[in-house]
Amino acid sequence: MDWAESAEAIEGVDELLASVGLGHGHRRMLAGSWVGGERRAKAAPGASQGKTGRVFGAGIEVVRAPGWERYRWLRHGFSSRAGGVSSVYAVGAAGELNLGWTKEDDPANVEENRRLFLAEVGGVGMEFVGLRQVHSGMVRVIERQVGLVRDEVFVGGLQTKDGRAVLRGDGLMTDVPGVMLGVQVADCVPVLVADIRRRAVAAFHAGWRGTLARIVERGIGRMRLRYGSHPEDMVAVVGPAIGACCYSVGEEVRSEFESQFSYAPELFSEVYDSDPVRERYPLLFMTARAPGHSNIGPQIHLDLWEANRRQLLDARLKPKRITVVGECTACARVGGAHRYFSHRGESGFAGRMMAMVGIANQNGESA
């Protein structure tokens, strides 16, 4: 199958690889932040034997939006750190599922992890397309290109021979069966969208800069133009990402959001650090914005889950068709161990998760 990025001009936002970090605001997890999403864990079919004799590749988790399984052509999922063959970020003995080409990890591990996760998501035989993510509002369209040789277009155009993404941007959309779109995250918000009537899908990577650039809202606008999608036919899921519990930002971030969004005050909360009880249970003390009354300045926390949900609503999606997984990558734990990789939670030394979405090859079968 042959395809290429469309030549359509895309207005970019500044290319910013800037750090996500504006002060370290790690907080303990409060119980009960899990509000949706379906979780599944099982041994990966491709589980392999590692150098030490341990069995790797087992226990890969796929976090899914409830109800999406009814669309048999649709493939999607969010990874956690569970399973896989990486060990560089691991505390325990089990392998982990680092899906990003980080400088610390062996590329062979990443390649194997990607293969394992693609299989778990039901994408065996599908072509994976990723991005060189730059915290922008750029969305790329992946389409079939007739009359071009696949290797020229795909390998030469969208991915290098060793699997590195070529396209820059932070959103992908396609209506081509057999393509699996992926964005990688380690606190930023992954958002997946599907038009269930016209069979088109999109994946977005939304940190605060991408959210500010309205990548989700704009991306859905482009789906409407490109595919004739109607918002009432769309489903969306906001995946695991850093929550308001842990995401402290600078005042300048709040100012930027206030200049862009009328609902900005609803996205920010102030957390006071002075009191050990407050330190321990920050959510109990989050207040609506009430500036200028504290001796010790509050930390400002941003709710990126809600910010992206609001963009989906502004794009006219139906509220009941939007799922917010609601799990914080910085503080969610399972059995005492971090469930996700977190740039904030691990002070920058972290692997990457991935969110994938795609349209299965015909008959819902893998090629």
The residues, ordered by sequence, that sit 6+ positions from 18 with a Cβ below 8 Å of its Cβ are 135, 209
Among 245, 267, 302, 357, binds Zn ion (CB under 5 A): 245
Minimum separation from the CB atom of position 239 to Zn ion (A): 14
Tokens of 133: 């993510």
Minimum separation from the CB atom of position 96 to Zn ion (A): 20
Minimum separation from the CB atom of position 186 to Zn ion (A): 14
Measured CA to CA in angstroms, residue 284 lies from 68, 236, 288 at distances of: 34, 29, 12
Amino acid identity of residue 202, one-letter, is A
Minimum separation from the CB atom of position 213 to Zn ion (A): 24
- Rounded distance between C-alpha atoms, residue 270 and residue 242, angstroms: 16
- Tell me which DSSP letter residue 32 carries: T
Query: Which of 202/245 has CB closer to Zn ion?
Result: 245
Query: Which of 7/277 has CB closer to Zn ion?
Result: 277
Taking the CB of residue 315, how many other CB atoms lie within 10 A of it? 20
Sheet strands (E) in 112-257 = 127-129, 139-144, 171-174, 179-185, 189-195, 200-206, 234-238, 248-249
Q: Which window, 77-85, 114-122, 236-244, 273-281, contacts Zn ion (CB under 5 A)? A: 236-244
The closest alpha carbon to 200, from 81, 74, 112, belongs to 74
Beta-strand relationship, 333-334 and 337-338: antiparallel
Contact flag: residue 243 with Zn ion (CB under 5 A) = yes
Q: Which window, 61-69, 190-198, 235-243, 275-283, contacts Zn ion (CB under 5 A)? A: 235-243
Size of the site for Zn ion (CB under 5 A): 6
The closest alpha carbon to 235, from 71, 1, 113, 363, belongs to 71
- Rounded distance between C-alpha atoms, residue 294 and residue 97, angstroms: 43
- Tell me which DSSP letter residue 357 carries: E
Contact flag: residue 302 with Zn ion (CB under 5 A) = no
Query: Which of 140/344 has CB closer to Zn ion?
Result: 344
Measured CA to CA in angstroms, residue 337 lies from 88, 241, 364 at distances of: 15, 17, 36
Q: Which window, 2-10, 192-200, 241-249, 274-282, contacts Zn ion (CB under 5 A)? A: 241-249
Minimum separation from the CB atom of position 345 to Zn ion (A): 8
Minimum separation from the CB atom of position 246 to Zn ion (A): 3
Minimum separation from the CB atom of position 161 to Zn ion (A): 39
Amino acid identity of residue 67, one-letter, is G
Q: Which window, 14-22, 63-71, 238-246, 278-286, contacts Zn ion (CB under 5 A)? A: 238-246
Minimum separation from the CB atom of position 108 to Zn ion (A): 32
Minimum separation from the CB atom of position 304 to Zn ion (A): 11
Query: Which of 189/220 has CB closer to Zn ion?
Result: 189
Phi, psi of 78 (to 5 degrees): -115, 140
Query: Which of 45/348 has CB closer to Zn ion?
Result: 348
- Which of the residues 313 through 342 are near Zn ion (CB under 5 A)? 328, 330-331
Query: Which of 85/330 has CB closer to Zn ion?
Result: 330
Contact flag: residue 246 with Zn ion (CB under 5 A) = yes
Query: Which of 100/243 has CB closer to Zn ion?
Result: 243
Residues that bind Zn ion (CB under 5 A): 243, 245-246, 328, 330-331
